[in-house]
Structure 1
Amino acid sequence: MTDEPTQRPLSPWDLPTGHPGITFLTGKTALFALADDPRFSYCLYVPRRHSPDGPPSPLVIAVHGTRRRVETVRDAMADFAERHNCVLLCPLFPAGIAGPNDVDSYKLLSPDGFRADEVLLSMVEEIALRWHVRTDRFHLHGFSGGGQFAHRFAYLHPDRLASLSVGAPGRVTLIDPTKTWWQGTADMEKHFGVQVDPAALRDLPVQFVIGAQDTGTADFAPVDSLGLAPAGRNRIENVNALRANWQDHGVRSRLDTVADVAHDQFGVLPVVREFLAAHLAR
């Protein structure tokens, strides 16, 4: 690439064959700051067959957990992206954005701070300036803290999703007009300008995924800073509570419980890949 300022982000096909800058824009990319808000960044896996010709590539987004191992998540999904010729986007929501002790705001979409959902949509629009990707709908997977983000994102933007995979959330937001955010959806319009629409989720392919041994509570907060308690005593109970709540509102889903796996994103990834592959094929 060049050190000269440019009005348009360079694409891999803007560079001559053999240019070293291509290695930053294909395969396992560098981490890029988001132009709209450089506090946030993202990396991608861009398959070798990616080109500006033909239909835009499907986009898969994988959202990190609390420890923010964003490049590790990307690397674990790289072979999948290559095999299915999809672009993989892994956003980074750093800790400390909403205060020195903040680790959770991105999961809750932070109605009183930054809007993590809007940050992700800005990333999607930005990468479309550089790579040939579909932006109207994408496939979203999140695990642990990322699973919290993913199902709440679905409440706000169901029309942007082609499929949804929710893994092992430590807290869940139920479709419940009697409870306020984040436990329920009573004040969604106040915080986000939209109301939850279960009908918009009914045609969305949904996977819930959890390790059969994910019953540990060492890093499972019994209440949050507002004194709000999660739906269940552990992540398995949370997943089941959320799935049952959605089912009560006509939203169908599949539940994958992975034997001999505890709270381990990489342990459940095989069934996540299977789910995503089926819906990429559609």
Structure 2
Amino acid sequence: MTTPRVKTTKAFYRTGSTTWFASRHDQRFSYGLHIPSVHETTDTPLPLMVIQHGTGRTASQYRDAMAEFSERHGCVVLTPMFPAGIDDPEDLHNFKFIEYRGIRYDEQLLGIVAEAGERFHIDTERFLLQGFSGGGQFAHRFLYLHPDRLSGVSIGAPGRVTLIDPDREWWLGTKGFEQRFGAPLRLEDIRKVPVHMVVGAEDTETWEINNPGDSNWMDGADAVGRTRVERITALRDNYTELGIDVTLDIVPGVGHQGMGVLDAVRRFAERVLPRVV
């Protein structure tokens, strides 16, 4: 019987599905990755897919669900972790709206991406960003700020959407965007990013997304629809009217289940990510 070669501890926990690393940018936040085996043999920087968790913080589950895809396509999967309860112990929603009590979550993510690029052989100039539910909220708002960093974006079932509309207050729309974030919304650059939207056809429960008085509510959030299906369709229509090319997948038989729409996400990722293996 042949004894398998034993890696060093450092090498073992930095290959395949890695351990979780504290972000050097801000150690309240962390990230895990799946590093495909081709990383050990290629000189080509590997493409990057970032999966942003939702309210349940199921980052490791998404990372593990995409591990086989990572190996088959030679792409690195990175999953940031933004814990609940930062500053306010009752808060669940901090990252979804980009800025929270002085924390810019877009900058936190970019810091993590840069750090991963220093640790591993990854092309971090542009990456595919995917998120479902709260992650879908983050993903489309990140697109508005950093289209130049994205090779594509997959927006999954956001409960609250931000239309590109200068007449609606943030976060219902983009009124005051430049004053809030210090940079204008660059529609021409957004039009260059492949956009995928996905939602389950049975994602029609409204108890979580129609909640006046909660910290993640604004009056008018339901003006574009009561369900996630209606709201993502309104977002698609808004983008289409502005000349943004969008593919919308409504997955039959699926409710509000991030794992249930991953096949549609994989098909989109296959289209926009270069294949190394």
The TM tier, using the shorter chain, reads: over 0.9
Aligned equivalent of 2:249:
256
Matched, 1:127 2:116: yes
Aligned equivalent of 2:188:
199
Structure number with the bigger relative contact order (C-alpha 8 A, sep ≥ 6) is 2
Aligned equivalent of 1:181:
170
1:269 to 240, 250, 262: 262
- How far apart, CA to CA, are the structure 2 residues paired with 1:221 and 1:125? 37
Q: What is the 5 A alignment of 1:133-144?
A: 133-144=122-133
- How far apart, CA to CA, are the structure 1 residues paired with 2:25 and 2:123? 20
Q: What is the 5 A alignment of 1:94-113?
A: 94-110=83-99, 112-113=101-102
Structure 1 residue ranges (4+ consecutive) displaced by more than 6 angstroms after TM superposition = none
**Secondary structure, counterpart of 1:50 in structure 2:** helix
Q: What is the 5 A alignment of 1:4-153?
A: 18-51=7-40, 53-110=42-99, 112-153=101-142
- For residues 152-211 of structure 1, give each alpha carbon's deviation from its aligned partner in whole angstroms, at most 9, with x where no partner exists: 000000000001100000001111111221111111111111121221111211110000
Aligned equivalent of 1:12:
none
**Secondary structure, counterpart of 1:22 in structure 2:** helix
- How far apart, CA to CA, are the structure 1 residues paired with 2:41 and 2:168? 47
Give the total of aligned pairs. 267
- How far apart, CA to CA, are the structure 1 residues paired with 2:201 and 2:120? 38
- Do 2:172 and 2:218's aligned partners in 1 also have CA atoms closer than 8 Å? no
Matched, 1:171 2:164: no
- How far apart, CA to CA, are the structure 2 residues paired with 1:150 and 1:184? 15
Unaligned regions of 5+ residues in structure 2, if any? none
Aligned equivalent of 1:161:
150
- For residues 28-53 of structure 1, give each alpha carbon's deviation from its aligned partner in whole angstroms, at most 9, with x where no partner exists: 10010001210000000000110375
For 1:241, give the aligned amino acid: A
Aligned equivalent of 1:244:
237
- How far apart, CA to CA, are the structure 2 residues paired with 1:265 and 1:90? 14
- How far apart, CA to CA, are the structure 1 residues paired with 2:210 and 2:104? 23
- Do 2:136 and 2:155's aligned partners in 1 also have CA atoms closer than 8 Å? yes
For 2:219, give the aligned amino acid: L
1:112 to partner: Cα distance: 4.1
For 2:247, give the aligned amino acid: R
Assess, with a 3 A threshold, how the Cα gap between structure 1 residues 52 and 113 changes in structure 2: closer, same or farther: farther
- How far apart, CA to CA, are the structure 2 residues paired with 1:122 and 1:203? 23
Aligned equivalent of 1:7:
none
Root mean square deviation of aligned Cα? 1.6
- How far apart, CA to CA, are the structure 1 residues paired with 2:42 and 2:6? 17
- How far apart, CA to CA, are the structure 2 residues paired with 1:89 and 1:76? 12
For 2:170, give the aligned amino acid: W
For 2:259, give the aligned amino acid: F
- Do 1:32 and 1:42's aligned partners in 2 also have CA atoms closer than 8 Å? yes
1:279 to 255, 272, 277: 272
- Do 1:98 and 1:113's aligned partners in 2 also have CA atoms closer than 8 Å? no
Assess, with a 3 A threshold, how the Cα gap between structure 1 residues 95 and 137 changes in structure 2: closer, same or farther: same
- Do 1:211 and 1:260's aligned partners in 2 also have CA atoms closer than 8 Å? yes
For 1:228, give the aligned amino acid: D
- How far apart, CA to CA, are the structure 1 residues paired with 2:87 and 2:177? 20
Which one is further off, 45-54 or 259-268? 45-54
- How far apart, CA to CA, are the structure 2 residues paired with 1:65 and 1:39? 17
Unaligned regions of 5+ residues in structure 1, if any? 1-15
Matched, 1:221 2:214: no
Which one is further off, 99-108 or 146-155? 99-108
- How far apart, CA to CA, are the structure 2 residues paired with 1:84 and 1:196? 33
The two structures have a TM-score, normalised by structure 2, of: 0.92
